[in-house]
Amino acid sequence: MFFVPLYSGSSGNCSLVCSDSGTRILVDAGLSATTIKNALLKCRISPESISAIVITHEHSDHIKGAGILSKQLDIPIYANAAAWEKMQGVRDRIRDKNIRVFETNKDFFISDIGVFPFPIPHDTADPVGFSFFADGRKLSVATDIGHTTQEIEDILAVV
C-alpha cells in the first residue's frame, strides 16, 4: 500500500491511497476535476483507474471536484449521512448508484482495502479521518484537526 499527497491546504485537499493490487482511493477531492486529473497524470496514474472517493467532511476545499469526477469517470463517492446531507450540490451531480453512505466508527471495504472512518474534532456535522488496511499495512489520514484526543491517538497508533 502506498500514499500520494496530491494537494493539501485551504485552496484544496486531495490524496491518493493505493493497494499493491491496484485499488485506488482518493481521499477528498477539493480542487477542480481537471486539476485533480492532471495531478494524477503527473504521477503516471490514470484518472480512469480511480476506484472510489472518500470524503472527510463537506467543506468546499474537500469536495469541490468530487461530483464532477464521479460523473465524468463513474466513480462512487463514500461519505457519512451527515456529510451527504450538507453536500446536496455534489449529490445532485452524480448517479444514485455512486452515492455510498458509511457509518462513522464502522469499517467497510473498497475492493481489497479495508476502510475505518473515525471521528475527528472539526467544525462540521460529522467529520472523519480514515484508517486504511491492505497488504498487511495500515495507513491513516486525518486532516483539519485543531487538537487531538486519546481516541484519535489510539486509532493512529501503529498496530
- CA angle (66, 72, 75) in 5-degree steps: 60
pTM given for the model: 0.95
pLDDT (tens digit, 0 to 9) for every residue of the chain, 159 residues total? 999 999 999 899 999 999 999 999 999 999 999 999 999 999 999 999 999 999 999 999 999 999 999 999 999 999 999 999 999 888 888 999 999 999 999 999 999 999 999 999 988 889 999 999 998 999 999 998 888 899 999 998 866
